[in-house]
Amino acid sequence: MINSLLEYWPVLWPTLAAIAVILAVVPFLGLYMTFIERKVAAYVQDRVGPNRVGPFGLFQAVADGIKIFLKEQLIPDHVYTALYFIAPAFSLITAMFALVVMPFGPVATDYAGGFRFMVAPGIDIGILMMLAISSLSAYGIIVGGWASNNKYSIYGAIRSCAQFISYEIPLGLSILGVIAIAGSLNIERIVAVQSASILDWNVFWQPVAMLVFFTSALAETNRLPFDLPECEQELVGGFHTEYSGIKFVLYFLAEYTHIVTVSFLTALLFLGGWHFPGLPGPSGASTLVLLLGLLVLLVKVSLVVMVIILLRWSLPRFRFDQLMGLAWKGLIPLALANLVGVAVVLTLGLPKHLLIATAVLPVLAAYYSATKFNASMADENISKKGLSPRGAVSYE
Amino acid sequence: MSETQNKPAKKKTVKWGDAPKLSVLDALYLPAIASGLATAIKHAVSGKPTTRQYPEVEPEIPPNYRGVHRLNRDEAGRVKCVACYMCQTACPANCIEIIAAPAPKDDPHWKDRDKFPATFTIDELRCIYCGMCEEACPVDAIELTSIYDLTGMTREEMIFDKEKLLSVFDETVKTGRDPVRTNRGKLGPASELSPTAKDAPPPPGRGKSG
């Protein structure tokens, strides 16, 4: 036993180290994401935000963490106790499990020994596994909503379920083009394909895919403008109405882990990952270059996170039918058309940068929907004028 | 539909307008999202918070603010109140309680006064800070200061007696934040003899004839 451990130690320790990094970083990341979110929210709303605990309120997150750990474990009478305990843990486990195949720093595709910024490098179904695992996180929410035995919670859970099912489709479809061009589901290879020059970043030839992916990812993470499962005005707290203390924190950690995962995926799949002009690739590179690559990736990820947080404070929440309409009538056709474009370019052997033309797709779709909408409004104006309260009204 | 159209035309009071046309840019959503983001970022980087760091930076209270009461002193340092019960009568919340006593006539300190309040208590929890006691007072003895952050741990300590109310006066005089309505150093209009009754200002809150 000991002998075999020693024998496998050279291949074992990088994995263990990567696991340790993820386990150590994720909870702090979650706590500090709440701090950053509160701070950004405050600045957007012309406030100052938390600034009492430590310089600039930096220890607010720690104070919150301590407070929430010491809170009373409140278990309502009417919950299904076992499921009630399992659900938040399941939520966080699935959220962190998805990080297994995610490179959080430069990973060379030759997988040399030593520490690598990834728990399980070289998984050939990487992105597929990631999608599969992250869609499992719907279970955490649904089980939690069910176990709460409360109509608001179950409504939140049902909404979340419907939203997950709808947005999984455009999420998967949008990255099919990226996968097809890279010829691999392996995330490191997908990044490696983008590393020739800045113009090889997927965003420059798959803008529609990035748009669809980012939108669906926002919906998957239950973020505004798609936070129907937990919208306070209608559902009290949604699926976490009955949760408090550490179990509530587990849900929140899961949500913020999702946001980080999604931001990493956006940066890796569309923004060139750790590639930056002038920076050599990760194979056989020195530690300094690797650290620079890590820095580049983290900067890209934090930019995406920033956009996600700022979007929360600039967009109103969708209505539920609008949410479904956007997925089924907007994003899925766009993603499909984009995929057809990729297929045509690949089959005919055309240069892939011709695909920048797919940027016309949303404009065409907008033109179509605007024409349809105006025509329907014109009909309504003719048939109902003077009889219906619809349309703009001015009183004389 | 046709029935309603065949009815005799009513006088039109409502003008029906057409809904504005949706342009391609509107239907694309992206320009609207970008402008929303731009607004958010503009505010985020403006660096001009509209909030105040309260315990460190205190708000500027207007001088006519109605806060904690005080009992004024006259030039001799005596309580200005003449125990006339006007404030107690005017108080809509019944939070003022006065027990009057005859002024000690043999004491030269009190020789120009008939009555003075033996006790004067205000229940600050019961008070609704309407300022009617202040208006009713003929000698400007009771006044509302701009102290807004009154706190206490028990109900008992929120019942202010005469000494406490006088100490509020001493404190607010020290800080120089007198209420704007104050008439310190002078007695109120009702207590002053005017040359002719016509010149006398009407009592506050009443008509000229009242």
Assigned token pair, B138:
């003929």
Question: How many Cβ atoms are within 10 Å of A107's Cβ, its own excluded?
Answer: 24
Q: Which residue type is seen at A360?
A: V
**Chain B residues interacting with chain A (CB cutoff of 8 angstroms):** 1, 4, 13-30, 33, 36-37, 39-41, 43-46, 48-51, 53
Query: Predicted ipTM?
Result: 0.76
**Residue in the block written with tokens 């402008």:** B35
Assigned token pair, A136:
């499992």
Give the residue among A34, A25, A30, A26 at the shortest CA–CA distance from A57: A34
Put simply, the answer to whether B43 touches A45 (Cβ < 8 Å) is yes
Task: Show me where the domains of chain A are located.
Answer: 23-60, 71-348
Put simply, the answer to whether A393 touches B53 (Cβ < 8 Å) is no
State which residues of chain A have pLDDT below 70: 1, 111-114, 232, 284, 379-396
User: How near does any CA of chain B get to the CA of A363, in Å?
Assistant: 6
Which residues of chain A have a CB within 8 Å of the CB of B2? Answer: none
Beta strands in chain A (DSSP E): 393-395
CA of A31: how far to CAs of A38, A290, B208, in Å? 11, 27, 68
Put simply, the answer to whether A377 touches B48 (Cβ < 8 Å) is no
Q: Which of A46, A51, A388 to mutate to test the interface with B (most CBs of B within 10 A)?
A: A46
Alpha carbon distance A42, A312 (integer Å): 12
Q: Please give the pLDDT value at position B1.
A: 44
Put simply, the answer to whether A392 touches B46 (Cβ < 8 Å) is no
User: How near does any CA of chain B get to the CA of A211, in Å?
Assistant: 10
Put simply, the answer to whether A393 touches B18 (Cβ < 8 Å) is no
Does residue B209 carry a pLDDT above 50?
no
User: Residue B189: which pLDDT band, with cuts at 50, 70 and 90?
Assistant: low
Average pLDDT score over residue span B113-128:
89
Average pLDDT score over residue span B95-114:
83
Evaluate whether A305 touches A266 at the Cβ level (below 8 Å). no
A387 has a chain B CB within 8 A of its CB: yes
The residues, any chain, with a CB within 8 Å of residue A8's CB and separated by 6 or more, are: none
Put simply, the answer to whether A392 touches B40 (Cβ < 8 Å) is no
Angle between helices A2-44 and A287-312 (to 10 degrees): 40
Put simply, the answer to whether A395 touches B40 (Cβ < 8 Å) is no
Evaluate whether A185 touches A172 at the Cβ level (below 8 Å). no
Put simply, the answer to whether B28 touches A387 (Cβ < 8 Å) is no
Question: How many Cβ atoms are within 10 Å of A374's Cβ, its own excluded?
Answer: 16
Q: What is the average pLDDT value for chain B, to the nearest integer?
A: 78
Q: Quick check: helix, strand or coil at residue A31?
A: helix
Q: Please give the pLDDT value at position A396.
A: 44
Burial class (CB in 10 A: 0-12, 13-18, 19+), B151: exposed
Q: Please give the pLDDT value at position B153.
A: 92
Which residues of chain B have a CB within 8 Å of the CB of A383? Answer: 1
Cα torsion B182, B185, B189, B192 to 10°: value is 170
Q: Which residue would you say has higher pLDDT here, B8 or A225?
A: A225
Q: Please give the pLDDT value at position B210.
A: 40
Q: Which of A37, A38, A44 to mutate to test the interface with B (most CBs of B within 10 A)?
A: A44
Q: Which of B3, B11, B18 to mutate to test the interface with A (most CBs of A within 10 A)?
A: B18
Alpha helices for A148-186 (secondary structure H):
151-182
B186-209: burial string, b at 16+ Cβ within 10 Å, e else:
eebbbeeeeeeeeeeeeeeeeeee
Of A40, A48, A311, the CB nearest to B37: A311
Residue of B nearest to A211 (CA): B30
- CB half-sphere exposure, A258, CA atoms < 13 A: 28
Q: What is the DSSP letter of A278?
A: T
User: Residue B180: which pLDDT band, with cuts at 50, 70 and 90?
Assistant: low
Q: What angle do CA A331, A334, A340 make, to 5 degrees?
A: 140
Q: Please give the pLDDT value at position A385.
A: 54
User: How near does any CA of chain B get to the CA of A324, in Å?
Assistant: 16
Strand partners, B70: B143
- CB half-sphere exposure, A133, CA atoms < 13 A: 23
Does residue B39 carry a pLDDT above 70?
yes
